[in-house]
A and B are shown apart, each in its own frame.
Chain A
Amino acid sequence: MNKVVSGAQEAINDIKDGMTLMLGGFGLCGLPEKTILALAASGIKDLTCISNNAGVDDFGIGLLLRNRQVKKMISSYVGENAEFERQLLSGELEVELIPQGTLATRCMAAGYGMPAIFTPAGIGTEVAEGKEVRKFNGKDYLMEMAFDADFAIVKAWKGDTMGNLVYRSTARNFNPVMAMAGKVTIAEVEELVEPGELDPDHIHTPGIYVHRIFKGENYEKRVEQRTVRKR
């Protein structure tokens, strides 16, 4: 059950043009930055990317947008990326904006083997257009389908060679639910350890969901809004 690969390049070597990828992270926090760099260098194109945000112009998924490798983005909030907004308004990029909880829960559904979920988010708005509405206990809910992604790419703090993962602080965000939802899941970690070194009680993502794991070097962990208070 050794899932270790040499690095990002090997991890993505069978990702092909036109595939659907899930990418973990919230803003730039908990972003699989090493795999994104490898994708940006790969020339793979026409990707559909499912990710809460679209990075910034020169970091995260913004790098893939800048290279025109993305055909379609499925996100909840894209406000930090000027190039994204430009491609969207000009029609170069196909974009599906969906509520953040819907995005997370559609990942969860895929990871739990459920075809769809019902949520009140988006009822009465343009998000509901063309979707089935069901009434439960007098309240309307939208039926939202589980995602179907070829690859999920996540970032964890620690992982072992069997693919068990532990996240750190709010860098957890979408990573665990996306890790569960990919047909193939790639995990990059800051620390890669031997089986037994992680406490089984503390594992967030069991290794069964992870197919490839590698240790990333020199994480940049860029901060979007550095806010501090005076001492």
Chain B
Amino acid sequence: MLDKEGIAKRIAKEVKDGYYVNLGIGIPTLVANYIPNNIDVVLQSENGLLGMGPFPFEGEEDPDTINAGKQTITKLPGSAVFDSAMSFGMIRAKKVNLTILGAMEVSENGDIANWKIPGKMVKGMGGAMDLVASAENIIVAMQHVNKAGESKLLPNCTLPLTGIKCVKKIVTELAVLDVMPDGGFKLLERAPGVSVEEIKNATAGKLLIDGDVPEMVI
């Protein structure tokens, strides 16, 4: 089973040379720490920055330089700043190659819910609806089951949707899965020490298993 860092490490392997990547809040943010040094990647922060760098050294924080999670960050050489309309313009126009975000639920046809729990949590969707509606390559980083032990990979989402038929790949503490065009979660890899049986039990939606499922290499 993977911890959060492990999920981030596995997702980092999906980041390719030359990509512009948008990382959501939470586990997706950690992915930045594991992108190999030998590939060239530019991180987009939807508040209006390309070329997001690491956190600043203590004492060098700039209140005018933050990421979409409102954290103080740095700008790498070659970075560019722009307004919010242009930021979502480049997302809508599919200039951003990969979007990695968290989810509360994903359905077997690729619907995603991650912004609202009616009556309980009302924080808003931020840029998530824009990202999932336009991005062609969306990876979801999430826990396979919720705190009550219920599967978050479902036949249909029960929470208000963020977007429909958009998730392509999911990485959880248990597995890597593709969402198939005709529906269903195709099991690609098992986390170290996790059996296919455990993944079956944790997946409420249709799970597609084709032959032996390799253990993931991180």
| Residues of chain A whose beta carbon lies under 8 Å from any beta carbon of chain B | 26-30, 52, 75-80, 85, 88-89, 95, 97-105, 107-108, 119-127, 157, 168-177, 204, 221-231
Contacts and interface: CB of A to CB of B under 8 A. Distances in A.
A80 to B, nearest CB: 7
Nearest to B52: A170
B48 A172 contact: yes
B84 A104 contact: yes
Contacts of A173: 47-48, 83-84
B160 A101 contact: no
B149 interface: no
A23 B115 CA distance: 23
Interface stretch (B85-93, B97-105, B139-147): B85-93
A170 B52 CA distance: 11
A25 to B, nearest CB: 10
B69 A99 contact: no
B130 A78 contact: no
A126 B160 contact: yes
13 contacts: A29-B63, A76-B127, A101-B91, A105-B88, A107-B85, A119-B92, A120-B133, A121-B130, A157-B64, A169-B75, A170-B45, A172-B83, A173-B47
Contact of A29 (B70, B122, B161, B165): B70
Contacts of A168: 64
Contacts of A230: 57-58
B130 A226 contact: no
Given A108-B85, A170-B45, A100 B163 contact: no
Contacts of A124: 111, 161, 163-165
Nearest to B68: A26
B55 A29 contact: no
A120 B47 contact: no
Contacts of B163: 123-125
Given A75-B124, A120-B134, A121-B130, A30 B57 contact: no
Contacts of B111: 124
Contact of B58 (A78, A98, A119, A228): A228
B62 to A, nearest CB: 7
Contacts of B91: 101
Contacts of A222: 63
A28 to B, nearest CB: 7
Contacts of B119: 89
B65 A76 contact: no
Nearest to A95: B122
Contact of A89 (B67, B122, B125, B129): B122
Contacts of B134: 120-121
A16 B72 CA distance: 36
A124 B109 CA distance: 13
A176 B83 contact: yes
B164 A97 contact: no
A169 to B, nearest CB: 4
B195 interface: no
Contacts of A226: 61, 71-72
Given A77-B123, A79-B124, A123-B133, A221 B70 contact: no
Contacts of A98: 125
A173 B83 CA distance: 5
Of A99, A108, A223, A229, most buried by chain B (CB within 10 Å of CB) is A99
B18 interface: no
Contacts of B165: 124
A100 B46 contact: yes
